């Protein structure tokens, strides 16, 4: 069925001549007029370790309002992706929107599609605008892994599910699944460590050059010194997980995390982090009417399930579908932001798709600066559009693997 939909989408795009028009501008385009994120900080010990997820979201929302100059009263709906928040975060995220300055008339909802939650939130808002349900909305993502990550984040299966889903490996930790995939797909540890070291090296270079500054909105937060228990206010301006001097050799000394002879460890997997991101969307005609600066447009998205045992291959399946929907080929894409959940799965997807590594995560990725689960998909939008603009390029893709075996991808054009 998925292949049939893929083929129909491909035929439709070819018939419409969409490939040659992807960068053309139309009044009904769904555009982004602001996209930003907070810094990402180390879970349990970084700058946001004492800050609640909803408070991070308030900061991202305030930054979005300030940067865009949008009248908050015009925003009709806000979708927030989050994975770990109790109750889905629905109550506190509504409160966060009100505290940030959005009116009572702005609806708020939370959603959870695991690691793609932030992207799903942005796409849901884009689709709501496209269908005429709303005119202006915000797609966002947030996660406080400091306060909500751990064994308690996974619920127990009922007897019915336990008896029927064991073969699907839906409850197996993602690290274990990625370890198995690395063995099955013969992704050597040396290759994983080289990719991970490259992520760190690209990120530290970008950070020193100020390439993250435009996408990051600094926050003032309360922070408790773990040694003295003294509370003080600090300003968090940059990702604090980015480390200098990381090499394949230094990563090669780290003990495997899931098996004595394994290849996955803390240095070649995504960091546990805290952070928030937000994206403001509307039609081009609306943006022009309001005098909003357009920084990019949403083109197409895809979501698809894969075998849970092979959870990490999601981008390999989702990206070609999104490209077909957009009517373009993989060669037309200038930059790919593919989440680095684990070096093993990212390396495999890039190689299997036949993508040039230099087009993938040019400023590094989650291995270097973190993967706050529900936030990453929204974060990638600001990272991508900022880098496309800086390098005078146009077309980009954001994608990630998704827990329990799924993949999601979206196509964007910078302006």
Residue 168: Cβ-neighbour burial (10 angstroms; 0-12, 13-18, 19+): middle
Secondary structure letter of residue 170 according to DSSP: T
Q: How far apart are CA 64 and CA 57, in angstroms?
A: 10
Give CA–CA dist 269/6, Å, rounded: 31
- Torsional sign, CA 91, 96, 97, 103: positive
Residue of 217, 346, 371, 375 marked active site: 371
As given in the structure block, the two tokens for residue 199 are 């992520």
Is there a catalytic annotation at residue 170?
A: no
Does the annotation mark 371 as catalytic?
Answer: yes
Rounded-to-integer distance, Cα 157 and Cα 309, Å: 17
Least Cα distance to 359 among 331, 317, 319, 327 occurs for 331
Catalytic residue among 115, 346, 349, 375: 115
Tokens representing 124 are: 């849901």
Nearest to 43 by CA among 34, 31, 51: 51
Per-residue DSSP letter, 19: G
Distances (CA, A) of 91 to 85, 88, 138, 143: 10, 8, 17, 15
Catalytic residue among 346, 349, 375, 401: 401
Q: Are strands 335-338 and 395-402 parallel, antiparallel or unpaired?
A: parallel
Reply yes or no on whether 115 is catalytic: yes
Nearby residues of 131 by Cβ (< 8 Å), 6 or more positions away? none
Catalytic residues: 115, 371, 401
């Amino acid at each position: 069925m998925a292949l049939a939909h893929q083929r129909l989408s491909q035929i439709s795009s070819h018939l419409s001549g969409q490939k040659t028009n992807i960068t053309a501008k139309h009044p009904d385009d769904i555009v982004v007029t602001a996209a930003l994120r907070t810094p990402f900080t180390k879970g349990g010990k970084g700058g946001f370790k004492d800050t609640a997820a909803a408070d991070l979201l308030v900061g991202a929302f305030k930054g979005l309002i300030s940067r865009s100059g949008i009248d908050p009263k015009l925003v009709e709906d806000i979708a927030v992706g989050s994975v770990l928040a109790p109750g889905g975060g629905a109550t506190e995220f509504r409160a966060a929107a009100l505290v940030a300055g959005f009116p009572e008339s702005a609806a708020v909802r939370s959603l959870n599609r695991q690691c793609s939650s932030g992207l799903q939130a942005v796409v849901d808002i884009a689709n709501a605008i496209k269908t005429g349900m709303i005119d202006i909305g915000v797609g966002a993502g947030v996660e406080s892994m400091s306060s909500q990550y751990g064994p308690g984040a996974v619920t127990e299966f009922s007897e019915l599910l336990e008896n029927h889903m064991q073969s699907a490996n839906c409850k197996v930790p993602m690290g274990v699944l990625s370890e198995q995939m690395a063995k099955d797909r013969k992704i050597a540890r040396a290759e994983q460590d080289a990719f991970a070291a490259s992520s760190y090296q690209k990120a530290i270079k970008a950070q020193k050059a100020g390439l993250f500054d435009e996408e990051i909105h600094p926050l003032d937060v309360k922070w408790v010194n773990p040694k003295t228990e003294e509370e003080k206010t600090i300003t968090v301006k940059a990702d604090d997980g980015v480390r200098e001097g990381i090499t394949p050799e230094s990563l090669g000394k780290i003990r495997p995390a899931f098996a004595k002879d394994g290849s996955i460890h803390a240095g070649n997997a995504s960091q546990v982090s805290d952070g928030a991101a937000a994206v403001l969307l509307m039609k081009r005609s609306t943006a022009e009417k309001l005098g909003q600066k357009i920084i990019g447009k949403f083109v197409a998205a895809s979501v698809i399930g894969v075998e849970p045992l092979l959870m990490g291959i999601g981008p390999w399946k989702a990206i070609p579908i999104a490209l077909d929907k957009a009517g373009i080929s993989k060669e037309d894409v200038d930059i790919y932001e593919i989440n680095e959940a684990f070096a093993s799965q990212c390396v495999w997807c890039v190689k299997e798709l036949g993508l040039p590594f230099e087009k993938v995560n040019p400023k590094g990725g989650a291995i270097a600066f973190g993967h706050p689960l529900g936030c990453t998909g929204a974060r990638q939008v600001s990272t991508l559009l900022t880098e496309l603009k800086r390098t005078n390029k146009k077309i980009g893709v954001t994608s990630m693997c998704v827990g329990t075996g799924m993949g999601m991808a979206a196509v964007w054009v910078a302006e």
